Amino acid sequence: MRILSIETSCDDTGITIFEAKGGIQNASFKILANNLSSQVDIHNKYGGVYPMLAKREHIKNLPILLEKTLKESGQKPGSIDLICVTSGPGLEPALWTGITFAQELSKKWGVPVQPVNHMEGHMLSIFGKNKGSFKVAKLKGPVLSLLVSGGHTELVLTEKWLDYEIIGETLDDAVGEAFDKVARMLGFPYPGGPYISKLAEEARKKSSPDTFIQSLGPSLRSATPSQKHTGVDLGFTFPRPMLKTKDFNFSFSGLKTSVLYFLQKNKGVDPAQIALEFENAAIDCLTYKTAKAIERYKVKTLVVAGGVAANSHLRREMKKVTGKKVKLLFPTMELTRDNSIMIGIAGYLNYIKNKKKTPKPESIKATGKLRL
């Protein structure tokens, strides 16, 4: 069947047309055309995403992208069998633009609409490719997913395929949000995660690692929080909040505030050193809780997805935590960020799971805080 998927949860407008077939465990996809339009140049001067501006841009972009994607795919509107659209979580004014657009197309073309949870999209993005064909592979369970983006930080357990239990989440800021806020303090535009990551990586390469501490492995290093985790003595440390709590939750707001206070008290510290210690602290929190959850739930497969999954230090630390016993899966770099390919994958799998029953298109609503 032919699927058209739409993503508008934040500041990226995405439309993809696929050919999809097969069951939940062996679904296969062929991308016929894919387009993504980023609003980053519009929002970066404001230091964040403005929902009403995002809405205006989505409304402007959606018909242009649709026409372009239809043309590139060689498809006629009448050949689309299903529309998949993100219904949450995200910015409600932005989500509504995609939903309304899907509802209008559904009416015009007489096709059903499958609402999609954006975070399930991120999780299933590990199967996707930016072009060509790909398949959904069977994963050995239990599967643990660390979903890390600008709005979310959660550990999700999947014992039964497509059923989710959130076993831990951030109690305040998302990790991507903390990266963005620290980047802003250091004078970088939105979204700042990639800038911090690049600066930290350069500083890490220049510092001399303490090989003894490096050899301890991430869980032991993280169990004794200090700058010595990474073997780089910067002469200052930032906290690793909630590292010792027995749950699998996170907190990044205190870490972000520590960086702010440090910057106010200490003028002239090299921003690269701050980026390095902040990144080490944030990733230590993610690594330690993920390692604990792997042990506790005897996890066989770890999925790490969402915008922050592009971070090189996170990727390296997750490899150490999983070792040879646990299979580790990341999306391709292009699919870590928001996109409509992941929405099509999640939409199709849910459509099959629900035996092709979809809600009435007019009943689909934007839910900003939709949970898995």
Interface residues for Zn ion in 120-159 (CB under 5 A)? Answer: 149
Q: Which of 47, 142, 194, 239 binds ligand KG4 (CB under 6 A)?
A: 194
| Number of residues located near ligand KG4, criterion CB under 6 A | 20
Q: Which does 180 bind (CB under 5 to 8 A by kind): Zn ion, ligand KG4, none?
A: ligand KG4
Distance CA 35, CA 18 (A): 12
Sole window of 99-107, 148-156, 245-253, 358-366 interacting with ligand KG4 (rule: CB under 6 A):
148-156
Nearest distance from residue 340's CB to ligand KG4, in Å? 12
User: Least separation, in Å, of the C-beta of 112 and ligand KG4?
Assistant: 26
Q: Which of residues 302-341 bind Zn ion (CB under 5 A)?
A: 338
Strand partners, 156: 145, 166
- The answer to the question of residue 179 lying near ligand KG4 (CB under 6 A) is yes
- Phi/psi at 312 (5° precision): -65, -40
Residue number, 86 or 273, with CB nearest to Zn ion? 86
| Nearer Cβ to ligand KG4 (98/307) | 307
Does residue number 180 form part of the binding site for ligand KG4 (CB under 6 A)? yes
**Measuring CA to CA, which residue among 31, 28, 39, 30 is closest to residue 15?**
31
| Binder of residue 337, out of Zn ion, ligand KG4, none (CB less than 5 to 8 A by kind) | ligand KG4
Q: Provide the minimum distance between the beta carbon of 25 and ligand KG4 in the complex, in angstroms, as a whole number.
A: 26
Is the preceding peptide bond at 359 cis, omega within 30 degrees of 0? no
CB of 66 or CB of 310, closer to ligand KG4: 310
- Does 272 help bind ligand KG4 (rule: CB under 6 A)? no
Nearer to ligand KG4, 98 or 193 (CB): 193
Return d(Cα 313, Cα 320) in angstroms, integer: 11
User: Residue 88's binding partner, choosing from ligand KG4, Zn ion, none, with beta-carbon cut-off 5 to 8 A by kind?
Assistant: none
Alpha-carbon Rg for the chain, nearest whole angstrom, is: 21
Write out the two tokens for 80: 């689309």
List residues bridging with 117 in a β-sheet: 88
Q: Is 39 in the site for Zn ion (CB under 5 A)?
A: no
Cβ atoms within 10 Å, residue 194: 15
Q: Sheet containing 2-7: which strands, arranged edge to edge?
A: 113-117, 82-88, 2-7, 12-21, 28-38, 133-135
Q: Is 311 in the site for ligand KG4 (CB under 6 A)?
A: yes
Q: Which does 310 bind (CB under 5 to 8 A by kind): ligand KG4, Zn ion, none?
A: ligand KG4
Let me know the angle formed at the C-alpha of 151 by 162 and 63, rounded to the nearest 5 degrees: 80
Written in H, E and C, the secondary structure of 98-132 is: HHHHHHHHHHHHCCCEEEEEHHHHHHHHHHCCCCC
For ligand KG4, the binding residue among 121, 193, 231, 271 (CB under 6 A) is 193
Give whichever of 61 and 73 is closer to ligand KG4, judged by the CB atom: 61
Of 81, 336, 62, 16, which is closest to residue 54 (Cα–Cα)? 62
Asked whether position 318 contacts ligand KG4 by CB under 6 A, the answer is: no
Q: Which residue, 106 or 311, is less far from ligand KG4 as judged by CB?
A: 311
Containing 222, the helix (H) or strand (E) segment is helix 218-223
Task: Give the neighbor-by-neighbor strand order of the sheet with 165-169.
Answer: 165-169, 153-158, 143-148, 301-305, 327-329
Least Å from the CB of residue 95 to Zn ion: 12
141, two tokens: 């369970």
| Residue ranges that bind Zn ion, judged by CB under 5 A | 149, 338
| Residue ranges that bind ligand KG4, judged by CB under 6 A | 10, 149-151, 176-177, 179-180, 191-194, 197, 306-308, 310-311, 337-338
